[in-house]
Homo-oligomer: A and B are copies of this chain.
Amino acid sequence: MVMTMPKVVVIGGGPSGICAAFYAKQQNPDADVVVIRREPGFIVPCAIPYAFGLLSPEKIISKSPDNLVTSVGVKLVIDEVVEIDASSKVVKTAKGEKFPYDKLILATGSVPVMPPIPGSDLENVFPTPKSLDALSNVVKAVEKAKNVVIIGGGFAGVEIAAEVSRRGKKVSIVEMLPHCLQLAFDEEFCEKGEEHLKNHGINVYTGVKAERFVGDGAVKEVELSNGEKIPADVVIVAVGVRPNTKLATDMGLELGPFKAIKVDEHMRTSNPDVFAAGDCCEKISFITKKPSNLRLASIGAREGKVAGINAAGGDVTFPGVIGVFSTEFLGFGMGAAGFTEKAAKEEGIDVVVGNAVGFDKHPSTMPGTMQMHVKLIFRREDMKLIGGQVCGGLTAGEIANMLGFMIYKGATAEDLANMQYGTQPMLTPPPISYLVCRAAENALSEA
């Protein structure tokens, strides 16, 4: 009898693909694990906005993910998959290579959405770049520009706008919803974020659409749905992404309601030998168990872990997406976990809300102190935490992670009000006003 090593092929080498490969190998060190990625280097996806300001494009390439997987014996192939033969279980690449698989993991990510705005074909109108070449191109165009307009005020749009403004450009954001960042935060948080942008000289146009891009060869201005015209030497469209499902549909995999690859809680697709993880696949909410449209690198990493372990013979499940976000622009940090108040109400959940406002350091004379606001959303029936938001300084991301864990563990308002914490002038709010506790106390007094 000949022993054969199980072959696991991962298509895509972003956060979800890398995690899938790493954990597959960890689950079964004998497995033959291959990652096939189009891009030569690992682009840190969330760092793309910083390539417009604090960093240069080549500085957002990270070697550590590739080292992580190759150090445990994963084979990393730079090539593009053009076809998957599901019956003979073989992956074919642009360079003509063939990779047979026992189990396949699709981690093909997402592609930027380009809305059909007239003038989109003008020079210097760009989608959010996702490859290093594309990114370098856009950054070069921005360097020559005086006026830059960002279409879309989500995380990517706001962060790109902030970073471009660091280079002394006149920057405008155009968001068709009433507020920037509205999918992740309640209105009062969005307003604080917008205020910070405006205080730093960024024009924020909300509740208005980009009607057309106007120019002669190259773009010159953006015409808004209210008739206003904004000068624009460069336009970057950052209105979101859609799942990259071409290979999946070509091989006949089912899609879910959000047009992403349908998976079960094992991250298994409609083909039992094929798994999917990350932006390309469908998600369900941890709280409501309904389909969710969240796409985050951190979620992809977690899903990749589950897909990788299961593809290599393990048996673990993904409990659904809590949705922990964070963003930073020009020193302002914002984080959120779980439901916003608005989203909870839309789901018909009866909620009790608690708020606390204070400072992220203490006393407030400490250099760099920022006003901080914590908002917590509890389900009235059991006073369990189902959502939280925080804005202020650069600890907002880790506070959001703490809130995410609290949601995951079913923590109640009592738990949060009585939690023990440490305080330090440079690192936290003051002992008598630790804001997570104070917001929980506020909710208890409203319940």
CB-CB under 8 A from A47, the residues of chain B are: 362-363, 366, 425
A58's nearest neighbour on chain B, judged by CB, is B365
A363 partner, pick from B62, B418, B431, beta carbons under 8 A: B62
CB-CB under 8 A from A327, the residues of chain B are: 424
> A231 CA to B422 CA in the complex, in Å?
35
Among residues 299 to 342 in chain A, which have CB atoms less than 8 Å away from a CB atom of chain B?
299-302, 319, 321-328, 333, 335-337
CB-CB under 8 A from A405, the residues of chain B are: 402, 405-406, 411, 415, 419-421
Interface-located stretch among A141-149, A221-229, A268-276, A391-399:
A391-399
Q: Are A301 and B398 in contact (CB under 8 A)?
A: no
Among residues 406 to 447 in chain A, which have CB atoms less than 8 Å away from a CB atom of chain B?
406, 408-409, 411, 415, 418-428, 430-434, 436
Annotate A192-211 by CB proximity to B: 1 below 8 A, 0 otherwise. 00000000000000000000
CB-CB under 8 A from A127, the residues of chain B are: none
Q: Are A60 and B298 in contact (CB under 8 A)?
A: no
> A150 CA to B365 CA in the complex, in Å?
25
Q: Are B301 and A432 in contact (CB under 8 A)?
A: yes
Interface-located stretch among A14-22, A113-121, A254-262:
A14-22
Asked if A367 is an interface residue, CB under 8 A from chain B, the answer is: yes
CB-CB under 8 A from A54, the residues of chain B are: 366-367
Q: Are B422 and A324 in contact (CB under 8 A)?
A: yes
Q: How far is the CB of A109 from chain B (nearest CB, A)?
A: 13
Q: Are A427 and B335 in contact (CB under 8 A)?
A: yes
CB-CB under 8 A from A72, the residues of chain B are: none
Asked if A253 is an interface residue, CB under 8 A from chain B, the answer is: no
Most buried by B among A362, A395, A420: A420
> A69 CA to B370 CA in the complex, in Å?
23
> A298 CA to B362 CA in the complex, in Å?
13
Q: How far is the CB of A412 from chain B (nearest CB, A)?
A: 10
Q: Are B408 and A415 in contact (CB under 8 A)?
A: yes
Q: How far is the CB of A270 from chain B (nearest CB, A)?
A: 25
Chain copies in complex: 2
A298 partner, pick from B323, B404, B420, beta carbons under 8 A: B420
A336's nearest neighbour on chain B, judged by CB, is B422
Asked if A400 is an interface residue, CB under 8 A from chain B, the answer is: yes
A296's nearest neighbour on chain B, judged by CB, is B422
CB-CB under 8 A from A319, the residues of chain B are: 418
CB-CB under 8 A from A394, the residues of chain B are: 394-395, 426-427
> A430 CA to B22 CA in the complex, in Å?
15
A286's nearest neighbour on chain B, judged by CB, is B420
Q: Are B50 and A425 in contact (CB under 8 A)?
A: yes
Asked if A344 is an interface residue, CB under 8 A from chain B, the answer is: no
Among residues 53 to 82 in chain A, which have CB atoms less than 8 Å away from a CB atom of chain B?
54-55, 59-62, 64-65, 68
Q: How far is the CB of A44 from chain B (nearest CB, A)?
A: 5
Q: Are A60 and B363 in contact (CB under 8 A)?
A: yes
A48's nearest neighbour on chain B, judged by CB, is B425
A420 partner, pick from B22, B302, B422, beta carbons under 8 A: B302
> A265 CA to B185 CA in the complex, in Å?
40
Q: Are A22 and B299 in contact (CB under 8 A)?
A: no
A431 partner, pick from B68, B297, B423, B431, beta carbons under 8 A: B297
> A286 CA to B418 CA in the complex, in Å?
13
> A400 CA to B427 CA in the complex, in Å?
10
A406's nearest neighbour on chain B, judged by CB, is B405
Q: How far is the CB of A422 from chain B (nearest CB, A)?
A: 4
Q: A326-B424, A363-B60, A405-B402 are in contact. Are A44 and B430 (CB under 8 A)?
A: yes
Asked if A364 is an interface residue, CB under 8 A from chain B, the answer is: yes
Asked if A46 is an interface residue, CB under 8 A from chain B, the answer is: yes
Q: Are A423 and B362 in contact (CB under 8 A)?
A: no
Q: List 5 A-B contacts (CB under 8 A).
A: A46-B425, A54-B366, A298-B431, A326-B427, A402-B405
3 closest A-B pairs (Cβ-Cβ)?
A397-B427, A324-B422, A402-B402
Contacts from A to B (Cβ < 8 Å): 15, 18-19, 22, 44, 46-47, 50, 54-55, 59-62, 64-65, 68, 286, 296-302, 319, 321-328, 333, 335-337, 358, 362-367, 394-402, 404-406, 408-409, 411, 415, 418-428, 430-434, 436
